[in-house]
Amino acid sequence: MSADRERERDRVGVWEVALSDGVHTVEFEHGTTTGKRVVYVDGKEILRRDWMFKLVGKESFNVGSTNTKASINIEAVSGFAYQYTLEINGRSLKTYMENRSKVTSTWLLNLDGVDCRVVLEKDTMDIWCNGQKMETAGEFVDDGTETHFTLGDHDCCIRAVSSGRRREGIIHTLMVDATQIAEAAE
């Protein structure tokens, strides 16, 4: 059997993980007859264990340039059936992504023919674009703050202003060359 067909047969999980430095694909192979466990991140093999006699357990690894902690839990559900769950920073992927939407804002735009994914980490005010942490300059303005950065020849700014309502908190808006960009839902 070719290596590609074996990989296809043993692949039991594929997850998309949106982090500040980009969206990463995590793939997991579990050979239940060989005991093989292989983890790929963005198509690159990062962990391999052959001849594991214990077919259940946990494999831990890091994802992305931010070295975010991840693990795959392998549980037996019945007989020779297994369940695979991905955890990010100790939380299920679903819980992590729900919480992430509270602590980050993401914008998707096309500048000069290049797709850009801009992410604001609200707790640190770090700004990322296509996997690169941006150099920024912050300033206080009348109704909040502005964080300035450039993308190519474009002047960009993320404005943070109070919504005036406690439940909503602070509203973050991306401006590119004085044009407001709509926030994306990830």
Q: What is the CATH number of the domain that holds 58?
A: 2.40.128.180
Contact between residue 17 and residue 63 where contact means Cβ atoms under 8 Å apart: yes
pLDDT of the chain, 186 residues: tens digit per residue? 555 666 677 899 999 999 999 999 999 999 878 888 999 999 999 999 988 777 789 999 999 998 999 999 999 998 778 999 999 999 999 999 999 888 999 999 999 999 999 999 999 999 999 999 999 999 999 889 999 999 999 999 999 998 888 777 889 999 999 999 999 876
Contact between residue 83 and residue 92 where contact means Cβ atoms under 8 Å apart: no
Residue 14 has a pLDDT of 97
Judgement on whether residues 78 and 9 belong to the same structural domain of the protein: yes
Judgement on whether residues 77 and 27 belong to the same structural domain of the protein: yes
Judgement on whether residues 69 and 133 belong to the same structural domain of the protein: no
In three-state secondary structure terms, 10 is helix
Judgement on whether residues 139 and 75 belong to the same structural domain of the protein: no
Contact between residue 172 and residue 118 where contact means Cβ atoms under 8 Å apart: no
Quote the domain boundaries for residue 72. 3-89
Residue 32 has a pLDDT of 79
User: Is residue 10 assigned to a domain?
Assistant: yes
CA 38/CA 30 separation, integer angstroms:
7
Helix or strand holding residue 94 (H, E): helix 93-103
Question: How many structural domains are present in the chain?
Answer: 2
Q: What are phi and psi of 34, to 5 degrees?
A: -100, -15
Which conformational region is residue 10 in: left (phi greater than 0), alpha (psi within -120 to 50 degrees), or beta? alpha
Judgement on whether residues 109 and 147 belong to the same structural domain of the protein: yes
CA 35/CA 74 separation, integer angstroms:
12
